[in-house]
Amino acid sequence: MTSSSLQRILVLSALAVLGCASEGRPTRVAADEGRTPVTVTGPGQHVARRAMLEVHASFWVRAGSARATADAARAMATFAEQHQGWVQSSSLQESGVSGQVTLRVPPETLGALRATLTRLGGGHGALREQVTRTDVTDALMDLDARLRVARATEARLLALLDQHGGALADVLAVERALAEQRTHIEQLESVQRGAQGRVDLATVEVWFEREVLDMRAPLGQQMTAAAREGLEAARSVGVGGVLFALRVGPALLMLLALAALGWRVAKGLRASRAK
């Protein structure tokens, strides 16, 4: 390679280093990750959205037990599957008092999800919701531009590498610059995929919590809630008793059979001694 080729290598290497350095600067995408998402606000705009839907006031009717809370969590998983989404995380307390589910679903399904949560909350409409908008159009366009520059630099380095001749040190310098540039491109592509994923699928966090009955509520409402809790407790006790019997029943029958056999043997021995 000639001295001019070596100068071009140094210039391209400097561009690659500058590109990698710019990667360390915080972008809007990174700054927006802690904010909460929502809708596409205009033509050609990408909007990351994160909806937080909490069910409190109306859910004490439907989530009065661990079984009811688990049923609600399963309903959220079914909703995500039906709308080409998925469950990112799920957490339920053993007591069944509360639970939390994080979904990734298309942004246009938030209306249907809101209706499902209202139904799970007993239809009383006590659904608390927080939805915020974050426009990431500029950040995505910046990523696209940086990727185009990085790939163009990679192409120029490949063209230099294809030129035969020159010192071995020059060839090794081009290969090092090419490896660094490809690493830089992979990092940019990873950031781009993450940003695009937050646009394509909204992140929805749903909390289920049984609200304690307000003693200032009408007497009829308190009596209805108390009766429902009593029936649920009776059902739990009954089911627990049946399960306990099924678990210990076979072993208990075996012990009784052994005791009866021992009693008969002992009785036979006493009868033989009496003779």
Minimum mean pLDDT range among 49-58, 127-136, 148-157, 264-273: 49-58
Q: Helices 3-23 and 168-200 meet at what angle, rounded to 10?
A: 30
Q: What is the DSSP letter of 40?
A: -
Query: What is the b/e burial string over 79-93, where b = at least 16 CB atoms within 10 angstroms of the residue's CB?
Result: bbeeeebebeebebe
Mean pLDDT of all residues in 92-100: 69
Q: Give the CA angle between residues 99, 39, 139 to the nearest 5°.
A: 105
pLDDT in tens, 173-221: 889 999 999 999 999 999 988 888 777 788 888 877 765 555 555 666 6
Spatial CA neighbour of 92 closest among 196, 207, 262: 207
Token code pair at residue 238: 């009954």
pLDDT of residue 66: 56
Residues in a beta bridge with 88:
none
* Confidence band for 164, pLDDT divided at 50, 70 and 90: low
Spatial CA neighbour of 159 closest among 146, 180, 177: 177
54: number of CA atoms within 13 Å, CB side? 9
Structural Rg of the chain based on CA atoms: 34
Full 3-state SS string of 163-209: CCCCCHHHHHHHHHHHHHHHHHHHHHHHHHHHHHHHHHCEEEEEEEE
What end-to-end distance do the CA atoms of the chain give, in Å?
Answer: 120
- In whole angstroms, give the CA distance from residue 242 to residue 64: 22
Consecutive H or E run containing 105: strand 98-105
pLDDT of residue 224: 67
- Whole-number average pLDDT of the chain: 70
Is pLDDT at 56 greater than 50 in this prediction? Answer: no
Q: What is the DSSP letter of 36?
A: P
